[in-house]
Structure 1
Amino acid sequence: MKAVRFSEHGGRDVIGYGESEEPTRKEGEVLIDVKAAALNHLDVWTRRGLPGIDLNMPHVPGSDAAGVVVDGGATRFDEGDGVAVWSGVACGDCEFCRNGDEPLCTSFHIIGEHVEGVHAERVSVPAENLVRVPDDVDMKRAAAAPLVFGTAWRMLVTRAGLRPTENVLVLGASGGVGHACVQIARHAGATVYATAGSDEKAETARKLGAERVFDYTDENFADAVREATDGRGVDVVVDHVGKETWRDSLASLAKGGRLVTCGATTGGDATTDINRIFWNQLDVYGSTMATRGEVDDVLSLVWEGALEPRIRATLPMSEAKEGHRMLEERDGFGKVVLVPDTEL
């Protein structure tokens, strides 16, 4: 069996694709023949090395995959079932899990980040981390959806409580989480504004439902938002960029507005305008991953076609380095999907 692997943290040169040990299905797990896997920025950060996470090397990365069950053991899955992987793992027994809030689990961890991932020809995954994929759904589409759409759904629907009459600003609309947020907000009936770094990306964001798209390389998006909303600002801002955009994100909010964040790609040590927060009575929400129920809800909309994971490129798994480059250099719009070389 072959898998994407790295034996040390570093640049893209540490990524390899070669022989790896066959997975052994443990009790409660399901053995899957992977048909497609998707890249996330999390794979880039894991490869570079994350503070406080000491991985067993060599490490197989990857949090998103879809495939066909080879051995379901004594689970609800049978041989031949199509499944997609949800990568958030919770203990099921702590106070947060018992209250139905799995992402707050005291031992919460992510497949591909904290433990071995799914960028391989075959993987063994806990049954509770699998979602059924209907026969008419393409495996590449199924692989591209779970992490970003699950994360985006929790951010907007659960944490920010987005309502149909509101307006929302989505930063980085060309990325995985960003393009999912644009679609979910539009599906919820909100007016969507977005930022993008090129005319091509802006046009795609408009096709997905953004009413206005601001080029963050050419204008101050906070000023542009104020102008577009007659000085009012937006009800919700989705910011997963962090340090570079934080002050302008807060400045884009209307009085009583909410900022929700799931990450900080440009750094977590942002400067916060505390005066603006208390005077305008703003709320700031953190959000991580999703519950399995939230994943079921949003993927049902993906399966029926109401939401669509955009795929910027499909590459052989042996070309994982190129996929990492595309993410790091922001080359294209949407997700990068890897397909095992044996499936091509």
Structure 2
Amino acid sequence: MRAVTITSRNDEVSPNIIVQDDWPTPSARPGEVLVRTEASALNHLDLWVGRGLPGADEFPRISGSDGCGRVEAVGEGVDESWIGRRVLLNAAVCHHSPHLPDVIPTDPALHMIGETLPGTHAEYFTAPAANVLDIGESDPVQAAAFALSFLTSWRMLMSRARLKAGQQVLITGIGGGVALSCLAICRWLGCTTIVTSRHDWKLERARELGADHVVLDSNEDWSKTVRSITSKRGVDVCADSIGSAVHQACLSSLARGGTLVTCGATTGSGPTDLVRIFWNQLSILGSTMGDMAEFREVVALHLSGQLEPVIDTVHPVDEARTAWERLESGEQFGKIVLRWD
């Protein structure tokens, strides 16, 4: 089969992206489905895998945690009625028991398709049948762009931060998939949004998408601007995946009793302000992926047209390296997708 492979580990990932035409086609094992890929989407995880992660240190390898396609075959114990259905993947797998009817994000045995397990950037991929949803005849490009970032954002905001209509939310790094998904969910729920970016053009795009307030991150303490917007009160919730570079500003932007929820640390981790945390009774929550109940909830909103992903570019498979170059540049606004038809 054709597959986009990362040939070796390196800090710069895109030069190591090669499309291979003779990669072995996987087979569905017991409890699994074999999916013929129609679209796969890129995430920052595709860069982290190429730079080297524990348990993902053998190269060449296939990354990719977003995938949509039609079931081509099923393994033992899986109903054959799945064959021919268009399905969307939740890439989190409880590795010790792929037959589990649900994903448990806090399970120590949690693994990711596209990280420690072979990913979706290939003509075919396998997954536990319990990890896919039938999405009918929905657009596979839109679906692939939707899955991982919206599931991550849904768990962050709805399950972990317990976000409510009318609350004020700060979203850092607008332009990435998770940040844009958080913006869409906040608008759907009826929250006031403040977004940050280092780029004016991304802030303008965010305004067009309905962001209420925008703040330029110019490497200074922009929390003062956030507090000014909120009449010095601060925000109820901050959704962040940047980490160290903005951590103190995020804490300083929170109202008393506010919540910082994080799903990543692309700039690394660093010291935190314990005095502010205990004095202002702040909550700091971690969030990773989401379970199948959360996946069904958020995908249902997509299928009904209430939540839509923002797509930056769509590339044919032969342009895979260009797609990685775009992701690595940080100039994208929305999801980068590969088409496999």
- In the superposition, the TM-score normalised over structure 2's length comes to 0.93
2:69 matches 1:67: yes
- Secondary structure of residue in 2 paired with 1:237: strand
CA distance in 1, matches of 2:157, 2:7: 37
C-alpha deviation, 1:92, in angstroms: 8.0
1:271 deviates by 2.0
TM-score (norm 1): 0.93
2:37 is matched with which residue? Answer: 34
For residues 47-79 of structure 1, the C-alpha deviation after alignment (integer angstroms, 9 at most, x for no partner) is 1112x3243432111110101111235424522
| SS of structure 1 residue aligned to 2:338 | strand
Q: Which residue of 2 aligns with 1:188?
A: 189
Q: Is the 8 A contact 1:153 1:184 kept in 2?
A: yes
Contact kept, 8 Å, 1:55 with 1:115, in 2: the verdict is no
- Partners of 2:234 and 2:116 in 1: how far apart? 39
Matches for 1:87-166 after TM superposition, within 5 Å: 87-90=91-94, 102-135=104-137, 137-166=138-167
CA distance in 2, matches of 1:273, 1:101: 33
1:337 aligns to what SS in structure 2? strand
Matched with 1:197 is: 198
Q: Distance in 1 between matches of 2:175 and 2:304?
A: 22
TM-superposition CA deviations, 1:136-181 (whole Å, max 9, x none):
x211001111110000000000000111121000001210000000
- SS of 2:326's equivalent? helix
Q: Calculate the aligned-residue CA RMSD, in Å.
A: 1.9
Q: Corresponding residue for 1:244?
A: 245
Q: SS of the residue aligned with 1:113?
A: coil
Deviations 1:10-45 (A, max 9, x none): 122221111200111111111111111000000100
Residues in 2 aligned to 1:333 and 1:113: alpha-carbon distance in whole angstroms: 23
User: 1:106 corresponds to which letter in structure 2?
Assistant: P
**Which runs of structure 2 are paired with 1:170-319 in the superposition (5 Å)?**
170-217=171-218, 220-268=221-269, 270-319=270-319
Greater mean deviation of Cα atoms: 27-36 or 240-249: 27-36
SS in 2 for 1:217: coil
Residue 102 of structure 1 aligns to a residue in which SS?
coil
Q: Classify the secondary structure of the residue corresponding to 1:295.
A: helix
Relative distance call for 1:44 and 1:53 in structure 2 (3 A) is same
Percent of aligned pairs with the same residue? Answer: 40
Given that 1:134 and 1:303 are in contact with CA atoms closer than 8 Å, whether structure 2 keeps it comes out as: no
Residue in structure 2 matching 1:82, options 70, 86, 105: 86
Q: Secondary structure at the match of 1:8?
A: coil
The answer on whether the counterparts of 1:154 and 1:294 sit within 8 Å (CA) in structure 2 is yes
Structure 1 CA distance, aligned partners of 2:211 and 2:325? 27
Name the SS of the counterpart of 1:46 in structure 2: helix
1:13 aligned residue: 15
Whole-angstrom CA distance in 1 between matches of 2:335 and 2:220: 26
Q: Secondary structure at the match of 1:210?
A: coil
Runs of at least 5 residues in structure 1 that lack an aligned partner in the other structure: none
The range that moved more, 23-32 or 285-294, is 23-32
Amino acid at match of 2:325: R
**C-alpha deviation, 1:218, in angstroms:** 7.4
Equivalent pair of 2:312/2:335 in contact (CA under 8 Å): yes
Where structure 2 has 5 or more consecutive residues not aligned to the other structure, the ranges are none
Secondary structure of 1:145 counterpart: helix
Aligned-partner SS, 1:161:
coil
